[in-house]
Structure 1
Amino acid sequence: MKTRPCPSRTAPAFLLVALVFATPALAFHWPWQSASRPEVAMPPHPVVSIITGDQPPEARSVPGVVAARYEVDLGFQTLGRLVDRPVDIGDVVSAGQSLAALNPEDLQGNVDAARAALDAAEVQLRTARATADRTRELARRNVASVAVLEQAETALTAAEAAYEQAGSELVRARDARSFATINAPFAGVISDVYEDTGAIVAPGAPVLKISADSELEAMIDLPGASSATAKVGDAYEVWVDGMTAETLTAEIRVIEPVADPVTRTRRIRLTLAHSDDLRIGTLIRARPAVTRAPVLTVPEQAIVMRDAVPHVWVVSRPEAAEAFVSLRAIRTGESTVADPLITEPFPAEPVTNQPVIVTSGLEAGEEIVTRGIHSLAEGQPVGRSVAP
C-alpha cells in the first residue's frame, strides 16, 4: 500500500508573504512598524516680552507717611491705678492740659504716713537734745562719766539723722502726689493710647503719646543702594499717594545711622516746606527732585549675564520678514524696589522681578524677552508677543 504525501499547511503562508513583498502596490505595515509621516513646518513659538518705556513717577518713588517731628510718650513717675483719662486718640490738646490722673487716695495716704513719721522723729529729736544737754551738765560737774556723755551725743546725732530722713520722705510723698496727674508738655494731638482707665500703671510705663502738629515731616524708608547715595540736604518731591499733580518740596533732615534689621532699609526724615494741608499718618510718596530725563527699566528676570556683562534679548520685527531675537549688552544702574516697607529681605525664593534701571544699550519702545531667556539662540525666529 502506497502512502500519498500530505500537502504542507505552511505553503499558503509562504505564498502570501512572497506575494506581499513581490507586489509593491499591496505593501502594508505591520503593527510594530512605524509609518513615516511627512514633517509639517510649525510656526515660531510666541514669546513673553514687554515694550520698554519711561518709568512713571509712582514707580520711581517710595512710599512713606507724614509724622510729627516732635512726639513724646508720657507716663507717670509713680505707681498707681489710672482713674481718669479724659483724652483719646485724635484729640487736639493745649499746653498744660490734664491728660490722665492716678487714684489720689493711695498717694494721699503715703503723704499722711510720711507726715506722721516726721512728727515722731521730731519728738525723738527733742528728747535726744534734752538728754544730751543734761548729760553735758552732769559731766561738767563730774557726776556723769565720759561714756554716758558719748552715748547721749550719739543718740542725739541719730535722732537728727532720723528727723532729716523723715523730712525727705515727706517731700518725696508730696512729689509723688503731684506726679499723679499728666499734663501736656506742649500743644499737639494725641497720636496713641497705651493704657485704659482702671489699669495699674508702673512708674515710667507709657500711658499715651502726644505729637506736636506744628512741625510735620515726611518719613520714608530707602533700600541700601539708594540710602548709600543719599545725603542730608538733598531735595525731594513729596505728594499725597494718588495725587501726583500736587507735589511739595522737601529736603533730607536726618538719615538714621542704623538700618532696620528686618527690612534692611534706612529711615529717612524729610523736612516739608509746607505742611498745612497734611495730617499725621497721611500716606505719601517721595522721590529725589532730579532732572526728569527718561528712565528705562527692565525686569531683573530678563537679564542674561555673559562674561559678567548684563545682556537682554531684543526682539526685531521687520515688516516683510519673520521676527527674530538678538542678544544685546546693556549697562544697568541700581535695582528699584516698588515698596521697600514690605519687601522681605530674605525671601524663600530669589526675587527676580525687581525693576533694574538701564543707563545705556536700550531705547524706549524696544521689545525685550522676559521669560525663557536661557533657551533662546542668536537670530532665532520668534512669534507674537503674549502676556505672562
Structure 2
Amino acid sequence: MNIRIIKFLCLGLAAIFLTIGCGKKEAPAAIAPLVKTQKIDAASDSLSNTYAGSVHGRYETNLSFQVGGKILQRTVQAGDRVHVGDILMTLDSKDIVQQVNQSEAKAEAAYAELQLAKANLSRYNQLFAQNAVPKASLDQYQTTYNSALAGYQQATAQTFQDRNSLSYTNLTADADGVISAIDAEAGQVISAGQTVLTLVQTNELEVEINVPENNIGELAVNAHALVSFWALPDSSVDGTIREISPVADPTARTYRVRISLPQPPDNLKLGMTAGVVCTLSDTASSTYILPLSAIYQTGNNPEVWIVSEDKTVSLKQVQVFSFDENHVKVLGLNNGDIVVTAGVQKLRDGETVRLDDSNTKGSNT
C-alpha cells in the first residue's frame, strides 16, 4: 500500500517539475520581415525627359496676293532659296490695268469740274465785291467749288489705290528664306488673301516638339535643352525653350513646345528629325520615380516607408507629382533615402525589417 502511494507521489512531482520547466522556456524570437526597397539617388531622379521633334524656322509666313485674279506665272519651286524683293508669282493684270485707266479718267473729269467751279467762284467773288450779286449766289458757287474739290480728291485717291493694286499683281519675298510649300499653280484663279506659298525664314531655326499633358508642368520657358539630330550623329547643340503653347492640341492632347537654337549646325536643314532632352523646371528637379506599390495611403495623405540606418521603418509624407499605370513621381524625398517598395500595408511604425539587397539600388528612368 505504501509503495503504491509513493509511486503516485513521484509521478505527481514529475508532472509538477515538467510544468515548471515548460513555463520557464522562452518563446522563439519573431523573424523581421524581408522587404524590397529602392534607394533614392541620381538613377531614380527624374532630371530630364527626351522627346522627338523636327526642325522648323522661327518665322513661317503664308504668302498671298492682296488682290484676286488669275495666276499667270510661278517663278519658284519648293525648296528654292529666295531673297528680299524676288518675284515669286505674277497675276494677270489686264483687268486691273483697265481699272487704273478708268480711275485716271475719272480723276481727269473731276479735275476739269474743279477748274470750272474755281473759275465761277472767282468771277462771283469779283461781282460780289462790286455789289452786283447777292451773298446767296456767292455761297452757292462756293459750295459748288467745295464739292468739286472733294470729288477730285476722291478720284485721285481711287487712282492711287488702283495703281497700288496693279503693283500687287507681283508677289515678292519680304524676307530671305526658303519656299517650303506651294498651294497654287499657274492658271488658277485665286481670291485676295488666299495662301499660295509658304516662306520659311532660315536665319533663325528652331525645333518643335509635342509634350504630353502630364509632363507639360515639368517644362518652363528659358529652360535648357540638349538637341541632337538623327541625320547628324556628331552634332549636338544647346537649345532654350522659347515658347510653350498655352492650349493643348484638341486631338492629340499634347502641347507644342518650341526650342530655339542659338548656334545650329551648318548643314542643318528644315524638316530634319531631332531628339530633345529637356531639363526639368525647378519644381520638378527634386522628383523621384517609384513603383506604385511603394505608396502607403493614410487618409488623403500619400506616404512611403523609409528604412533608417538601424533597419527600422517610419512613414514619410510625399506629394504625388504625376503617375502612370506602374510608376509614380513624387516630391518630398531626399537623396539617399531607402524606400520600401513592396508589402507596405503589413508594416508598423518602428518595426525592424530585413532588406533584400538585390532591390536596394534605384532604377533608371
TM-score grouping bracket, smaller chain normalisation: 0.5 to 0.7
Residues matched between the structures, number:
292
CA distance in 2, matches of 1:377, 1:204: 70
Preserved CA contact (<8 Å) 1:259 1:267: no
Q: 2:264 matched to which residue of 1?
A: 274
Residue 210 of structure 1, CA deviation: 0.8
Matching residue within 190, 201, 225 for 1:201: 190
Q: Name the stretch that deviates more: 140-149 or 117-126.
A: 140-149
Are 1:103 and 2:92 counterparts?
yes
Matching residue within 165, 171, 192 for 1:176: 165
Q: 1:118 matched to which residue of 2?
A: 107
Residues 1:76 and 1:269: Cα distance change in structure 2 (over 3 Å): same
Preserved CA contact (<8 Å) 1:299 1:352: no
Q: 2:273 matched to which residue of 1?
A: 283
- SS of residue matched to 1:96: coil
- SS of residue matched to 2:261: strand
Q: 2:24 matched to which residue of 1?
A: none
Preserved CA contact (<8 Å) 1:72 1:211: yes
Residue 111 of structure 1, CA deviation: 0.7
- Post-superposition CA distance 1:34-85 (Å, at most 9, x none): xxxxxxxxxxxxxxxxxxxx69x9x940111111123222222223332222
Residues 1:289 and 1:142: Cα distance change in structure 2 (over 3 Å): closer
Preserved CA contact (<8 Å) 2:208 2:259: yes
* Amino acid paired to 2:141: A
Residue 118 of structure 1, CA deviation: 0.7
Are 1:158 and 2:131 counterparts?
no
Preserved CA contact (<8 Å) 2:302 2:319: no
* Amino acid paired to 2:72: V
CA distance in 1, matches of 2:327, 2:176: 44
CA distance in 1, matches of 2:191, 2:327: 48
Residues 1:131 and 1:218: Cα distance change in structure 2 (over 3 Å): same
Residue 148 of structure 1, CA deviation: 2.0
Q: 1:41 matched to which residue of 2?
A: none
CA distance in 1, matches of 2:189, 2:256: 37
Residue 278 of structure 1, CA deviation: 1.6
Residue 289 of structure 1, CA deviation: 5.6
> Whose relative contact order is higher, 1 or 2, with alpha carbons under 8 Å and at least 6 apart?
2
CA distance in 2, matches of 1:203, 1:221: 33
Q: 2:19 matched to which residue of 1?
A: none
Preserved CA contact (<8 Å) 1:95 1:187: yes
- Post-superposition CA distance 1:69-107 (Å, at most 9, x none): 232222222233322222232222122211112211111
* Amino acid paired to 2:275: R
- SS of residue matched to 2:163: helix
Residues 1:306 and 1:228: Cα distance change in structure 2 (over 3 Å): closer
Tell me, which stretches of 5 or more residues in structure 2 are unaligned?
A: 1-42, 281-286, 306-314, 348-365
* Amino acid paired to 1:103: D
CA distance in 2, matches of 1:261, 1:267: 12
Preserved CA contact (<8 Å) 2:118 2:145: yes
Preserved CA contact (<8 Å) 1:128 1:159: yes
Q: 1:259 matched to which residue of 2?
A: 247
Q: 2:308 matched to which residue of 1?
A: none
Preserved CA contact (<8 Å) 2:237 2:264: yes
Q: 1:10 matched to which residue of 2?
A: none
CA distance in 2, matches of 1:88, 1:311: 62
Preserved CA contact (<8 Å) 2:235 2:265: no
Preserved CA contact (<8 Å) 2:226 2:236: yes
Q: Alignment identity in percent? A: 23
Matching residue within 221, 224, 229 for 1:240: 229
Superposed counterparts of 1:1-388, under 5 Å: 60-224=49-213, 226-241=215-230, 246-252=235-241, 254-256=242-244, 258-262=246-250, 263-288=253-278, 306-307=297-298, 309=302, 334-335=321-322, 352=325
Preserved CA contact (<8 Å) 2:221 2:244: no
Residues 1:358 and 1:277: Cα distance change in structure 2 (over 3 Å): farther
CA distance in 2, matches of 1:306, 1:244: 46
Residue 239 of structure 1, CA deviation: 1.2
Normalising by structure 2, what TM-score? 0.64
More helix by percentage: 2
Normalising by structure 1, what TM-score? 0.60
* Amino acid paired to 2:257: R
CA distance in 2, matches of 1:280, 1:249: 18
CA distance in 2, matches of 1:353, 1:266: 26
Residues 1:244 and 1:225: Cα distance change in structure 2 (over 3 Å): farther
CA distance in 2, matches of 1:333, 1:287: 23
Preserved CA contact (<8 Å) 2:70 2:187: yes
RMSD: 4.4
Residues 1:272 and 1:283: Cα distance change in structure 2 (over 3 Å): farther
Residue 159 of structure 1, CA deviation: 0.8
CA distance in 2, matches of 1:299, 1:246: 36
